[in-house]
């Protein structure tokens, strides 16, 4: 798909633009070319979605559109201000940038980069105060945005003590309080639960309807369907752009760029039906081809095509019963000094060699549970026992060094050494191992994460996805018995998520116990056990089939979560008239269930 002309757009020509980039090129001091010859207009009241693999230039583009970065070449016009022109003697007009920034808003990918005070409401007020907004108007805006992001109860809280998702809500509220003409959001939902992401999408719709221009950088393909226009970046260039349906129709090109189609598009392809990105169109098409009243031969043809496709590559659920418990929580309560505890009377056992997914809405206690599991915190009440060692006493906690590997929410921030090899070797060297053993572990860990050959590179010159893998390799080189990961796929493109899942499955196959926090129900469904936390308590626990089922649908929705997309579609189709499809948790299972239901309902197909 060829890129559209820079001045062409689905947006009517009479709509004014709030930002315009003309042949913009930007290189970092390291020599990395982040943007190359980018021309783009953003229109008032437009929702523009930016897609691309990690390292494609999305965050750099966001920073240019918000006036935080000036390019090396080209022209930049922001909210009516000519801020940069490489044809002028003075390329950068600093006064114009200063005026433009008063009308621009940005939500960073990592909220820690945006929080500036120790009180939530003061943080939200910071931007309007710097704009000179009257104090009474500031108070009104702060209250409004706290309600909008569901953080009113945390107005007096210290944002540094909030969960990652709660911090993200505060950052979004702070940007909205400035009432920008152009709002740029860089992966705003990467740390949010299902309910939180839905709330942010509603906010974006309302802002767009009110005339605010939205530039939305995301790795969630389903979110891009709501955009007026989609731009796909590849190595700093616009690979192609157009309406969501135009862009997502190019499955092969997207795949080569590390992206994928939204679920509904993949579902239509797998069934052999006319391709679509529209939920309602696909539902009607499925009912027409596979419903009990269908008398066409399309279903038979589809079954033949689908039967030739490979089965799901997910591992079957394990039927083994591990002989021992590697970690246990016994009536654990923990508080950060707030009135409400982060965990309240939690009891939980983790079997040796299992894979466990921990899910729950933002602030439910997931990250706190991980910190207790890693002995970084100790319970106020109750006991946490790891490998038979109670973590209450400091001298006992030291015995766990090397037993547990903890990959934090932003693992790339764990990097510090001059070379990849030195970073990966740091942990094993501190275990007092021989040089030969350190070398063996480093080589094995780098092979596992696919970074062999980059031992001498600086970890800070790697792509974002590679930095995350490097940090993971440093943990794996310590050969922990338990690997603990906090949102490991957050911020990764579809290809990166797929690669990381394969790495974790390989590690688990070697007997390592894996515990991961995730906001992805699809990732949780790949685990052997799922624990659902809600308001500091264990709400549900069991296998994915036991947790993600029709009987728990409302319970999960009330907890800010939901079912997997496959099961959600199965229930939707049943309610529309298809026979029971069971509880499919993956797309492959869903496709087979639809085909089987069609055979049973219409034996002549």
Same domain, 181 and 136: yes
Predicted confidence at residue 542, as pLDDT, reads 96
| Cα gap 285→125, rounded to integer Å | 50
528/408 same-domain check: yes
Which tens digit of pLDDT belongs to each residue from 39-85? 999 999 999 999 999 889 998 999 999 999 999 999 999 999 999 99
Please give the Cα distance from 368 to 537 (Å, whole number): 12
Question: Which tens digits make up the pLDDT trace of 149-205?
Answer: 889 999 999 998 887 778 888 998 999 999 999 999 998 888 788 888 888 888 889
CA–CA distances in Å: residue 135 to residues 103, 268, 362, 476, 482: 19, 53, 31, 52, 51
DSSP 159: G
Could you tell me if residue 37 is left (phi over 0), alpha (psi between -120 and 50 degrees) or otherwise beta? left
Alpha-carbon distance of 443 to 328, in angstroms, equals 33
Same domain, 370 and 465: yes
DSSP state of 198: H
Instruction: Provide the residue range defining the domain that includes 161.
Output: 44-65+104-257
382 shares a domain with 288: no
Could you list the beta-strand ranges (E) of 192-276. Answer: 213-217, 229-234, 237-242
Q: Is residue 522 part of a domain?
A: yes
Instruction: Please tell me whether residues 253 and 125 are part of one structural domain.
Output: yes
- Please give the Cα distance from 484 to 471 (Å, whole number): 13
* pLDDT attached to residue 14: 59
pLDDT of residue 321: 47
Neighbour-count burial of 546, counting CB atoms closer than 10 A to its CB (0-12 exposed, 13-18 middle, 19+ buried): middle
Residues 53 and 118 in one domain: yes
C-alpha–C-alpha distance, residues 72 and 312, integer Å: 47
Residue with tokens 């970092």: 28
51 & 180 share domain: yes
Domain contains 406: yes
Which helix (H) or strand (E) segment holds residue 348: the answer is strand 343-351
Question: Is 136 among the domain residues?
Answer: yes
DSSP secondary structure letter of residue 564:
-
Please say whether the beta carbons of 504 and 476 come within 8 A. no
Per-residue pLDDT reduced to its tens digit, 115-133: 899 999 999 999 999 888 9
Q: How many CA atoms lie within 13 A of 332 on its CB side?
A: 30
In a domain, 139, yes or no: yes
Top mean-pLDDT range of 461-465, 485-489, 536-540: 536-540
pLDDT at 338 over 80: no
In a domain, 140, yes or no: yes
Cα separation of the two ends of the chain = 38
pLDDT band at 29; cut points 50, 70, 90: confident
Same domain, 280 and 386: no
Residue 14 lies in a domain: no
- Report yes or no: 523 and 501 within 8 Å, Cβ to Cβ: yes
- 135 and 270, same domain (yes or no): no
Q: Rounded to an integer, what distance in angstroms lies between the CA atom of residue 110 and that of residue 108? A: 5
Q: Is the pLDDT of residue 315 over 60?
A: no
Output the average pLDDT for the chain. Answer: 88
* Residues 169, 209 share a domain: yes
CATH code of the domain containing 216: 3.40.50.300
pLDDT tops 70 at residue 252: yes
How many structural domains compose the chain? 3
pLDDT at 164: 76
Q: Are 188 and 172 in contact (CB under 8 A)?
A: yes
Residue 357 forms part of a structural domain = yes
Q: Assess if residue 199 is contained within a domain.
A: yes
What would you report as the CA-atom Rg of the chain, rounded to the nearest whole angstrom? 25
346/460 same-domain check: yes
When pLDDT is averaged across residues 247-263 and rounded to a whole number, the result is: 93
Same domain, 410 and 543: yes
Mean of pLDDT values over 571-600: 91
Residue-wise burial string across 257-285, b where 16 or more C-beta atoms lie within 10 A, e elsewhere: bbbbbbbbbbbbbbbbbebbbeeeebbeb
């Amino acid at each position: 798909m060829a890129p559209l002309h820079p001045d062409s757009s689905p947006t009517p020509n009479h709509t004014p633009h709030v930002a315009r980039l003309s042949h913009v090129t930007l290189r970092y001091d390291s020599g990395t070319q982040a943007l190359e010859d980018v021309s783009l207009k953003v229109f008032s009241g437009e929702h523009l979605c930016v897609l691309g693999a990690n390292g494609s230039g999305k965050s750099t583009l966001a920073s240019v559109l918000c006036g935080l970065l000036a390019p090396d070449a080209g022209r930049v016009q922001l909210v009516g201000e000519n801020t940069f022109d490489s044809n002028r003697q003075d390329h950068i007009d600093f006064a114009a940038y200063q005026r433009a920034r008063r009308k621009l808003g940005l939500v960073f990918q990592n909220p820690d980069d945006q929080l500036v005070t120790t009180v939530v409401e003061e943080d939200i007020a910071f931007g309007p105060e710097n704009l000179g907004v009257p104090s009474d108007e500031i108070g009104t805006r702060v209250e409004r945005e706290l309600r909008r992001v569901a953080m009113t109860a945390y107005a007096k809280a210290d944002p540094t003590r909030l969960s990652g998702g709660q911090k993200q809500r505060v950052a979004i509220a702070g940007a909205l309080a400035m009432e920008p003409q152009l709002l740029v959001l860089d992966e705003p939902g990467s740390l949010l639960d299902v309910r939180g992401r839905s709330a942010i999408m509603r906010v974006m719709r309302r802002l767009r309807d009110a005339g605010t221009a939205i530039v939305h950088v995301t790795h969630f393909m389903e979110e891009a369907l709501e955009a007026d226009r989609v731009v796909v970046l590849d190595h700093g260039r616009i690979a192609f752009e157009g309406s969501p349906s135009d862009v997502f129709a190019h499955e092969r090109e997207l795949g080569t760029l590390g992206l994928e189609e939204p679920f509904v598009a993949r579902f239509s392809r797998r069934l052999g039906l006319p391709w679509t990105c529209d939920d309602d169109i696909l539902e009607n098409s499925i009912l027409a081809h596979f419903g009990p009243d269908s008398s066409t031969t399309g279903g038979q043809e589809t079954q033949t095509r689908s039967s030739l496709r490979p089965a799901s590559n997910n591992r079957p659920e394990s039927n083994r019963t591990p002989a021992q418990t590697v970690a246990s929580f016994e009536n654990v309560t923990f508080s950060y000094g707030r009135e409400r505890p982060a965990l309240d009377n939690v009891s939980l056992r983790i079997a040796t060699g299992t894979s466990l997914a921990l899910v729950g809405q933002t602030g439910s206690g997931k990250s706190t549970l991980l910190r207790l599991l890693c002995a970084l915190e100790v319970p106020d009440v109750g006991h946490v026992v790891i490998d038979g060692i109670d973590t209450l006493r400091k001298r006992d906690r030291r015995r766990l060094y090397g037993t547990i590997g903890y990959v934090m929410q932003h693992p790339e921030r764990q990097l510090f050494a001059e070379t990849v090899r030195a970073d990966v070797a740091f942990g094993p060297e501190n275990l007092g191992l021989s040089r030969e053993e350190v070398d063996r572990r480093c080589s094995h860990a780098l092979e596992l994460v696919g970074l062999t050959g980059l031992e001498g590179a600086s970890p800070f010159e790697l792509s974002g996805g590679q930095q995350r893998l490097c940090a993971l390799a440093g943990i794996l080189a310590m050969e922990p018995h338990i690997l603990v990961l906090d949102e490991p796929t957050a911020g990764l493109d579809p290809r990166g998520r797929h690669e990381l899942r394969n790495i974790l499955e390989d590690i688990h196959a070697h007997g390592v116990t894996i515990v991961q926090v995730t906001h992805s129900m699809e990732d949780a469904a790949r685990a052997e056990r799922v624990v659902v936390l809600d308001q500091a308590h264990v709400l549900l626990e069991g296998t994915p089939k036991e947790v993600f089922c029709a009987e728990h649908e409302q319970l999960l929705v009330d907890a800010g979560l939901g079912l997997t997309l496959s099961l959600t579609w199965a229930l939707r189709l049943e309610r529309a008239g298809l026979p029971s499809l069971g509880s499919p948790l993956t797309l492959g299972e869903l496709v087979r269930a639809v085909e089987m239901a069609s055979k049973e309902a219409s034996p002549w197909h």
